[in-house]
Amino acid sequence: MTTTHLRAAVAGTAAVLVLTACGSGEEEASTDEESAPSIVVGTMPLADLAPFHHALDTGLFEEAGLDVEFVSSSAGAAQIAAMMSGDVHITYSNFVSVLQGAQEGLPLRIVRENNRSGPQGIYVPADSPIEDPADLSGASVAINSLGNIQELTSRAVLESHGVDLATVEFVEMPPPDMGAALEQGHVDAAWLVEPFLTRGVQAGHREVASAFEGPTENLPVAGWLTTEEYLAENADVVDSFIAVMDQAMAEAEDDPGVIAEAIPGYTEIDPQLASELSPPALTPTSDLTDFDVLRDLMLEYGLLDEELDVDALMYTP
């Protein structure tokens, strides 16, 4: 997602969002006590969101006094647009979109990390002549969105292996379509994320490069954000949300089965496949101190136009 794309998304509509579930809370508040704060949270149907859904399913938000609903979208920029319009209060998004939005003047604040560099990578079909990253010179590579986290990591990793980026064609494609595109020869390689990664491996696809190695190792990838206005007026709600996510992350770290159990409830993934997925690189401890690495990579590859004060975007309770 380029900054132009992001600007268009924010200026447009959040109609692509679909209300998919309601969280905790009574239908009507008791007359004797104040009703719990209601918040709408933007999510995506990814394995990385399992801790949030675990918290919702097991009543952790309700125990913290929050009445939570969520809306799901396949695009982080769409969730940012919905948040700027007031339809969403806290949202999940990749940090490339967040930094691009901040450069456009959007009043965004990052409140917690969710996941860092995980098991994703660039894959090719089993019978592909491509054997190592250097062979991707002149290849077409499917990514979910141009000018975003997948293009950034692909460019950085491939260049570190000596690939001439001017010869690589990045093709924008929804992740569910990438497996078939590989098999039918529409693209030479694809940046696969779960659950499509495991499905691809089961179909015989081979990894030729990790998306997170060398210059992208341990890169901040995605997390939770809100607007400056909402944070100023509802810091207690945001603090409670962060505390619940801390607890959910800790429970997922202690028992990885928590992730597999939650995933089928908010995706179309069956329980058997959910139990076979590579574990996401979750962040039980949120670290908002090293985003300069991400910013510098974005500057190097043209995803930011100018220096950005990333520290000013961070919120810590």
Lowest mean pLDDT among 5-19, 152-166, 188-202, 228-242: 5-19
Is residue 295 scored above 60 in pLDDT?
yes
Return d(Cα 46, Cα 285) in angstroms, integer: 20
Residue 11 pLDDT more than 80? no
* pLDDT value, residue 74: 63
Q: Please report, rounded to a whole number, the percentage of residues in the chain having pLDDT higher than 90.
A: 65
Q: What is the pLDDT averaged over residues 219-246?
A: 96
Q: Is the pLDDT of residue 15 over 80?
A: no
Question: Lowest mean pLDDT: which of 3-7, 35-39, 193-197, 218-222?
Answer: 3-7
Tell me how far the alpha carbon of residue 252 is from its chain's centroid: 18
For residue 50, what pLDDT is reported?
94
By the 8 A CB rule, do 288 and 222 touch?
A: no
Q: What share of the chain is helix, strand, coil (3-state, %, to 5)?
A: 40, 20, 40
pLDDT at 28: 39
Q: Which two tokens stand for residue 252?
A: 């997922």
Give the pLDDT confidence of 125-158 residue by residue, as tens digits: 999 999 999 999 999 999 988 888 899 999 999 9
Residue 61, pLDDT above cutoff 70: yes
Give me the helices (H) in 85-123, please: 95-103
Q: Write down the pLDDT at residue 23.
A: 45
pLDDT digit string (tens) for 239-283?
Answer: 999 999 999 999 999 998 999 999 999 888 888 888 888 888 899
How confident is the model at residue 53, as a pLDDT? 97
pLDDT at 5 over 80: no
Q: How far apart are CA 160 and CA 154, in angstroms?
A: 10
The pLDDT tens digits of the residues spanning 67-84 come to 999 988 765 567 788 899
Domains and CATH numbers, the chain: 3-116+220-313 (3.40.190.10), 121-216 (3.40.190.10)
Task: Kindly report, residue by residue over 114-133, the tens digit of the pLDDT.
Answer: 999 878 899 999 999 999 99
Q: Which amino acid is at 107?
A: P
Compute the half-sphere exposure of residue 156: CA atoms within 13 Å on the CB side of its CA: 28
> Which pTM does this prediction carry?
0.83
